[in-house]
Amino acid sequence: MEAFGTRLHRAMAERGPLCVGIDPHPQLLAAWGLPDDVSGLERFSRTVVDAIADRVAAVKPQSAFFERFGSHGVAILESTIRQLKEAGALVILDVKRGDIGSTMAAYASAYLEPSSPLYVDAITVSPFLGVGSLAPVFDTAHKHGGGAFVLALTSNPEGPQVQHARTVGGRTVAQEIIDEISQLNGGVEPLGSIGAVVGATIGDTGHDLSRMGGPFLVPGLGAQGGQPADLAAVFGDRIDAVLPSYSREVLGSGPSPAGLRDATERSLDACRAALGEHR
C-alpha cells in the first residue's frame, strides 16, 4: 500500500484539509435524543458516517467512547471503521496508546496490521515513555503503509507542565519529540507518515516545527476556541502540512444529516480560506 503520508496528501488535495471526529459522549447522545447505550452509539455512528464520510479527507473516531460499552461497543467501532473506508475516508483512530516492548508491539498489531478487525490508516500515540518506545508502531506503520500522530504540543491546560519542561540539553520536551519525529520523516516527499498532534489554541510557543516533514493533526478548533485564522501563527511555513480536526463544532449540528453536512462544509470552507493560499 502507498505510504500514509502520500495518501493523506492526496486526500487533502482532493477533498480538502479537514478531519472530523466521531466522539459519541453521553451528553452528545442525549442532545441527539439518543439513549446512552449500544443502540444509541450505533445510530449516532451510522448517521455521521452516512452524512459526511464521502466528503472529508479523514475521520477520527475516539476509541474510548466505543470501548466504554465493552465488546458490543468495540464491534460497532469495527463496523464504523469498515464503513468509513468504504466511503473513501482515511481513518485516524484516536487511541493515544503508549507503552514499551511487546505491549507496544501488540497495540501496533491491533491497529496497523491489515489482518486486524480494527485496522486503520493511522493512530494517535503518546511519547511520554520516550519516543523510542513507539518504535513498534513506527515499524508496523512503515511496513503496511500506515501512519501515527505523536502527541507533542497539546492544547489542554495541563500539557505545558510536561511538554514545555526543559531537558538537560536545554530544549523543551515537545521540541525533543518534534525533532525525533523529523528524523523519521527525513527526505520523504510529499509528506512523511509520522506526524504530530499540535493544538490549534497553543499560539506562538517558540517551538521550531519547520523540519517536521510529516503532517500535523490539529484539534482544538471550533467549540474548543481555536480558529483557522490562528493556524498561520502556530505553524508558519509548515501550514501546508496541517490537517485541522473538528468534532463538537460539526457533531453538535446533528442528528439531521443535512445539518451535519452543512456544518462540515462550513468548517471546510473556513479551513480552505485560511490554508488555501499555502497549499
Q: Which residues are identified as catalytic?
A: 96
Unique residue bearing C-alpha cell 516492548: 101
C-alpha cell at 152: 507533542
The span from the CA of 150 to the CA of 256, in Å, is 34
The span from the CA of 247 to the CA of 219, in Å, is 8
Residue 262, Cβ neighbours under 10 Å: how many?
A: 14
